Amino acid sequence: MIVITGAAGFIGSNMVSKLNEEGYDELILVDDFSNEIKNKNLENKSFSEKIDREVFYNWINEKHPPIEFILHIGARTNTAEFDKKIFDKLNLDYSKKMWELCSKSQIPLIYASSAATYGMGEFGYNDDHKIISKLKPLNPYGESKNDFDKWVLKQSGRPPFWAGMKFFNVYGPNEYHKGRMTSVIFHAYHQILKTGKMKLFRSHNPDFKDGEQKRDFIYSKDVVDVLFFFMTNVSQSGIYNLGTGKARTFLDLTKATFRSMGYDEKIEFIDTPADIRDKYQYYTQACMDKLSEAGYVVPFSTLEQGIDDYVKYFLLQEKYK
């Protein structure tokens, strides 16, 4: 059996689809299943059982199921949430219990870290363990992820294999439930559909022109392909970046979305809100050398390829993965 936490969420449900496609259906899905919109992500999926995240550890202790692997994708990901207690409970303490379970029972573990741990990128975007203690995340979400990474690296008891994946800017199907936390592509699509135009944040940094702020955007299909690779190949344990290694501008993204939708480009610029302006990231780009050294050499989708697939086969058709 394989356990996936956050299974009804964006990346988790995409991973369930990937596993089903690869012939895996003995899956234990863990999440808060009270959100009916989010539960649509699991329609037509094959799995053994759904377990509420609050009772998961009790269920493990009572049932002692034969677990082969755990994909701990579940987390509170709201970067606009500032109640540290929520992140301590759901991201830090819950993850510590997962690590201890996998260490004690010798279950391989992949867990979700985040590029939000890098903050403003003062120390670059290299997944070298040596810089993790120096990183300065910009919000409680990023802090919770970095706190867990730091805790992991101090542990003497470990799972037989483990990998923490620092997800960069992931976009793709099954993010309908995420509200304001959906990807820029999702927002662009709906804004263009509604108004025929897209508003982007103006640059308040003299080193960047308007719309030329850059992010490392990665398609969800590529994310789950990498996770599956780590599940099925013996690799070096550690914390890994999961981006494409190629930063692209918001103008690139917006123009690609217009093209995939068949609309003429109409782009306007608005001021970045004052309350987030001093914490706004103008550039992120994952160093992907460690992933390559682990043996993953499959090319990632280009931004244009990913957006075209996402828009034409999911957003325009209102389909789920």
* Catalytic positions, written as ranges: 141, 178
End-to-end, the C-alpha distance of the chain in Å comes to: 22
Burial 285-314 (b: 16+ CB within 10 A, else e): bbebebbeebebeeebbbbbebbbbbbeeb
Residue 94, amino acid:
Y
Neighbours of 5 (CB within 10 A): 24
Distance between CA atoms of residues 284 and 7, nearest Å: 27
Selection from 75, 68, 114, 70 nearest residue 93 by Cα: 75
Inter-residue contact 310 to 222 (CB < 8 Å): no
Provide the 3-class DSSP secondary structure of residue 289: helix
Distances (CA, A) of 230 to 122, 153, 240, 294: 29, 19, 11, 9
Helix (H) or strand (E) holding 251: helix 250-261
Report how far apart, in Å, the C-alpha atoms of 80 and of each of 74, 76, 279 are. 17, 11, 12
Strand pairing report for 2-5 and 27-31: parallel
**Under a CB-based contact definition with an 8 Å cutoff, are residues 211 and 254 in contact?**
yes
Phi and psi angles of residue 12, each rounded to the nearest 5 degrees, phi first: -60, -45
- What the block records as the tokens of 114 is 């985040």
